[in-house]
Chains A and B, each alone.
Chain A
Amino acid sequence: MRRTALAFAAQFRQRHRWGLLGVVGYLAALGVYNRLIRAPGPPVHLDNPEAVAGVVVIPLATTFIYLLAVFTFGLAGDLAARESIFPARMFTLPVRTAELVAWPMLFGTVAVSVLWLGTALFGLRPRGIEIGLVWPAAAGAAILAWTQAFVWMPYGLRGLRVIVAVLCLSALDAIVFTALTFKVPEPVLVAALLPQLPLAYAVACVAVARARRGDVPDWRPALARPGAVAAPSRRRDERFASPEHAQRWFEWRQHGRALPALVAVLLPFELAMLWLAGDTPVLVIELLLLVLCTPPFMAAFAAATVGRADTAAPGTSGLAPFTATRPMRGAALIGAKLRMTIVSTLVAWLLVLVATPLALTLSGTWPAVMDRAADTVSIFGAPRAAVLLLLLLAMCVATTWRQLVQNLYVGLTGREWLMKGSAFLALTLLAVLWPVAIWTGNHGGVLAALWNDIAAILAALGLLKLLGASWVAVRLHRSGLLSDRTLVLGAAAWVGVVFALYGLLGWLLSGPLVPRHYLVLIAILAVPLTRLSAAPLALSWNRHR
């Protein structure tokens, strides 16, 4: 048993020593700063978002996410895959499954507990922030243990792991926050959280045992029959009209069904709530907004697989020789991928647009929606209200597609370090921007200053985008990956879409409150350009290493 523990410890140390040393260094620096350098000051209150953001949220959230990734082995596997993410090489170790699960779970739960205790003792308490020591550590440990259990479980469908994990962890979060809102005493919270650990451990044991004996359920055949309309198998005498058609079919079969499947799994649960919200019109509208947000939200998860250069090469993120040796130019390979994302987006929205009116009718909640529609018509007039509705829908569809493709270039590089670094950076930015946004919202002066300079800020962002796009265009031209004609046509199409959006915004928001140049800048920033046009460069970097 001791040997197994040492083996796991050595593995974590070897692979993540710099990251884990960084965490220890951060806690040590926090302690030294607060106890030795910074003089005792006035207590920091938790209702001060600036303090919470600076001292707790940013480093704690980032580090916690990092520890989650390390101890679930999430950095080494494909989160969307059906197979367990637990390293398969460990299945051959001569130890019982219970032991195989116990050590990474123990190390992980201890690490997050130490993280919290370190932050609280070195960072919070010296500044007078009195917050429980035990329940946050228990909550962190429970979240980590359940994440391990969900991530190590084999699933019947690709991407299902992400949905299950997000739903269950959100539920756990909601329980904790509800308990805090109602000021549940710490001992009660701890008593509720600590039993989660053995429960999660038991589930994880079952998960790893199934993965160890190769028991990976496959629900694809069950879904293949209804999906056959959208993705029929090729009949033996059927021919593709061109290589582009063949590649489009290949992309659709490989990645295209991920988003519609994710939406199809989540949608029934959301629409079922209409029956519960029948008597409360506000809730019905909120549920509809939730439904409208589902495709763009799930697109962010589907993008993780769509962006990957290839799933035909298990265990690698590079382009498999099978795909790399297709006699097609990189631009054509990307073109097939982009067309697939458009179809995938439209199919996902078709599901929403068919299922939602059906659910509204069956649940008897149409009147609530019609009342709200009548209000909108009385405010804006019928034509403008209709355009607003269509625009809202178009924006949702466009946002879904944008979510699918905006980080395509990262996946197409086939560099694992770049993909993981990019995800880590995005999470870190989120952890930073969220508290900063809250802080800004609570400081009227700062908000006013930002609003005064909004034109300059938008212009700077627009300039940055155009500079980036120019750099990409020059690289594309020099490398010969895209012909001059394609480059010019692409640029012209982008300008056309920007002007169309500007015209539409101008018509909708005409008035003295919103100057015209704001609308131009918004249109420039809204239409994807730089990251999308970097995709051929990324693929070339991957295909010709």
Chain B
Amino acid sequence: MSESVIGITALTRRFGAKTALDGVTLDLPRGAVYGLVGANGAGKTTLIRHILGLLRAEQGTVRVFGADPVADPVAVLSRIGYLSEENDLPGWMRVDELMHYTRAFFPAWDDHYAEELREAFSLDPTAKIANLSKGQKARAGLLVALAHRPELLVLDEPSSGLDPIVRRDILGAVLRTIAGEGRTVLFSSHLLDEVEQVADHVTMIRDGKIVLSGALDAIKASHGGGARVPTLDEIFVAHVGSSAAVARDA
């Protein structure tokens, strides 16, 4: 087994009376695409925010590349590419300014690759972020998350911003390329068919607890009752129950 990129042990987080994460333990080895699935409010974003150091572990430990993301944000964040679901890129920046600004933080920034991505995403370099559509903003966010070829790519609900064509043709291809290069991708989604197409490993989370985690093929094999291999959607329904409808509709 290769070294662990993310190691989480007994992580618990409460917001007031609500327990957002309840004793989560997770170990993500290098070089695969991990899908984090769960209904809205299950705890996916809270888990990702702990990985990025945006939330401090109240109980338990979080290690990314062996370091604590809160104690040593530079060491951790310089190796991560992150696409937030919040679409929070500064509206006053132009696309080329965003690229220049982000490049300054990442020595491994690849200008040629960034330009390739910009053209593939059809982004006008002189366009202001504020004037981009929601999908274009998500593409711009994805561009700056990818262009420094991060060792770990974290995508929080990328489907909520990207249109179906980008999701199917570009995101899928990019994620496979990254994994093929031995880098790691963690992405959260409530679109189970998308996760099924892209991810090698799946972690299901419900009410802050991990209910299922492992290689997608192994999970499918272990849930197969007969000749037919179950879909991820069916497995989700089996584990999460009625919340699945919410997850599919969301």
With a cutoff of 8 Å between Cβ atoms, the chain B residues found around residue A327 in the complex are: 73-74, 76-78, 105-106
Pair B104/A253 contact, Cβ less than 8 Å: no
Pair B104/A239 contact, Cβ less than 8 Å: yes
Q: Does B194 interact with chain A (Cβ within 8 Å)?
A: no
Check A234/B54 contact, CB under 8 A, given A320-B86, A325-B77: no
Pair B82/A325 contact, Cβ less than 8 Å: yes
Q: Does A48 interact with chain B (Cβ within 8 Å)?
A: no
Q: Does A219 interact with chain B (Cβ within 8 Å)?
A: no
Pair A312/B89 contact, Cβ less than 8 Å: yes
Known: A242-B104, A325-B84. 4 other contacts (CB 8 A): A240-B104, A321-B86, A326-B77, A544-B53
With a cutoff of 8 Å between Cβ atoms, the chain B residues found around residue A480 in the complex are: 71
With a cutoff of 8 Å between Cβ atoms, the chain B residues found around residue A183 in the complex are: none
Q: Does B132 interact with chain A (Cβ within 8 Å)?
A: no
Partner of B92, one of A243, A245, A254: A254
Q: Does A545 interact with chain B (Cβ within 8 Å)?
A: yes
Compute how far the CA of A313 lies from the CA of B88 in the bound complex, rounded to whole angstroms: 6
Q: Does A47 interact with chain B (Cβ within 8 Å)?
A: no
Interface string of A312-337 (1 = CB under 8 A from B): 11000000111011111110000000
Q: Does A250 interact with chain B (Cβ within 8 Å)?
A: yes
Partner of A240, one of B52, B93, B100: B100
| Interfacial residues, chain A to chain B (CB-CB below 8 A) | 233-234, 236, 238-240, 242-243, 245-246, 249-250, 253-254, 312-313, 320-322, 324-330, 480, 543-545
Offer 17 A-B interface pairs, CB within 8 angstroms, sorted by A.
A233-B94, A236-B96, A238-B100, A239-B103, A245-B104, A246-B104, A312-B90, A313-B88, A322-B88, A325-B54, A325-B84, A327-B73, A327-B76, A327-B78, A328-B105, A544-B55, A545-B56
Nearest residue (CB) in B for A542 is B54
Pair A312/B103 contact, Cβ less than 8 Å: no
Pair B82/A313 contact, Cβ less than 8 Å: no
| Size of the chain B interface, CB-CB below 8 angstroms | 33
Partner of B100, one of A239, A324, A544: A239
With a cutoff of 8 Å between Cβ atoms, the chain B residues found around residue A320 in the complex are: 86, 88
Compute how far the CA of A236 lies from the CA of B71 in the bound complex, rounded to whole angstroms: 35
With a cutoff of 8 Å between Cβ atoms, the chain A residues found around residue B89 in the complex are: 312, 322
With a cutoff of 8 Å between Cβ atoms, the chain A residues found around residue B88 in the complex are: 312-313, 320-322
Top 4 A-B residue pairs of the complex, sorted by shortest distance between their CB atoms: A246-B104, A327-B78, A240-B104, A327-B77
Partner of A321, one of B54, B93, B103: B54
Pair B53/A322 contact, Cβ less than 8 Å: no
With a cutoff of 8 Å between Cβ atoms, the chain A residues found around residue B77 in the complex are: 325-327
Check A322/B90 contact, CB under 8 A, given A543-B54, A545-B54: yes
Pair A324/B54 contact, Cβ less than 8 Å: yes
Main SS class of interface, A: loop
With a cutoff of 8 Å between Cβ atoms, the chain A residues found around residue B97 in the complex are: 233-234
With a cutoff of 8 Å between Cβ atoms, the chain B residues found around residue A240 in the complex are: 100-101, 103-104
Compute how far the CA of A325 lies from the CA of B101 in the bound complex, rounded to whole angstroms: 13
With a cutoff of 8 Å between Cβ atoms, the chain B residues found around residue A329 in the complex are: 73-74
Pair A243/B73 contact, Cβ less than 8 Å: no
With a cutoff of 8 Å between Cβ atoms, the chain A residues found around residue B96 in the complex are: 234, 236
Interface string of B47-67 (1 = CB under 8 A from A): 001001111100000000000
With a cutoff of 8 Å between Cβ atoms, the chain A residues found around residue B74 in the complex are: 327-329
With a cutoff of 8 Å between Cβ atoms, the chain A residues found around residue B93 in the complex are: 253
Q: Which of B52, B54, B96 has the most C-beta atoms of chain A within 10 angstroms of its own C-beta?
A: B54
With a cutoff of 8 Å between Cβ atoms, the chain A residues found around residue B92 in the complex are: 253-254
Check A544/B101 contact, CB under 8 A, given A313-B86, A322-B90, A327-B77: no
With a cutoff of 8 Å between Cβ atoms, the chain A residues found around residue B73 in the complex are: 327-330, 543
Nearest residue (CB) in A for B85 is A321
Pair A544/B54 contact, Cβ less than 8 Å: yes
Compute how far the CA of A83 lies from the CA of B93 in the bound complex, rounded to whole angstroms: 19
Q: Does B91 interact with chain A (Cβ within 8 Å)?
A: yes
Pair A254/B90 contact, Cβ less than 8 Å: yes
Pair B100/A321 contact, Cβ less than 8 Å: no
Partner of B101, one of A236, A249, A321, A328: A249
Q: How far is the CB of A236 from chain B (nearest CB, A)?
A: 5
Pair A325/B52 contact, Cβ less than 8 Å: yes
With a cutoff of 8 Å between Cβ atoms, the chain B residues found around residue A250 in the complex are: 90, 101
Nearest residue (CB) in A for B97 is A234
With a cutoff of 8 Å between Cβ atoms, the chain B residues found around residue A325 in the complex are: 52, 54, 77, 80, 82, 84
With a cutoff of 8 Å between Cβ atoms, the chain B residues found around residue A321 in the complex are: 49, 52, 54, 82, 84, 86, 88
Q: How far is the CB of B98 from chain A (nearest CB, A)?
A: 10
Q: How far is the CB of A196 from chain B (nearest CB, A)?
A: 37
Q: How far is the CB of B29 from chain A (nearest CB, A)?
A: 23
Compute how far the CA of A453 lies from the CA of B12 in the bound complex, rounded to whole angstroms: 55
Q: How far is the CB of B237 from chain A (nearest CB, A)?
A: 32
Q: How far is the CB of B144 from chain A (nearest CB, A)?
A: 9
With a cutoff of 8 Å between Cβ atoms, the chain B residues found around residue A322 in the complex are: 84, 88-90
Q: How far is the CB of A194 from chain B (nearest CB, A)?
A: 43
Compute how far the CA of A240 lies from the CA of B84 in the bound complex, rounded to whole angstroms: 24
Q: Does B23 interact with chain A (Cβ within 8 Å)?
A: no
Q: How far is the CB of A155 from chain B (nearest CB, A)?
A: 16
Compute how far the CA of A414 lies from the CA of B53 in the bound complex, rounded to whole angstroms: 16
Nearest residue (CB) in B for A312 is B90
Compute how far the CA of A242 lies from the CA of B100 in the bound complex, rounded to whole angstroms: 11
Compute how far the CA of A236 lies from the CA of B100 in the bound complex, rounded to whole angstroms: 8
Partner of A544, one of B56, B84, B103, B125: B56
With a cutoff of 8 Å between Cβ atoms, the chain A residues found around residue B90 in the complex are: 250, 254, 312, 322
Compute how far the CA of A330 lies from the CA of B104 in the bound complex, rounded to whole angstroms: 17
Q: How far is the CB of B96 from chain A (nearest CB, A)?
A: 5
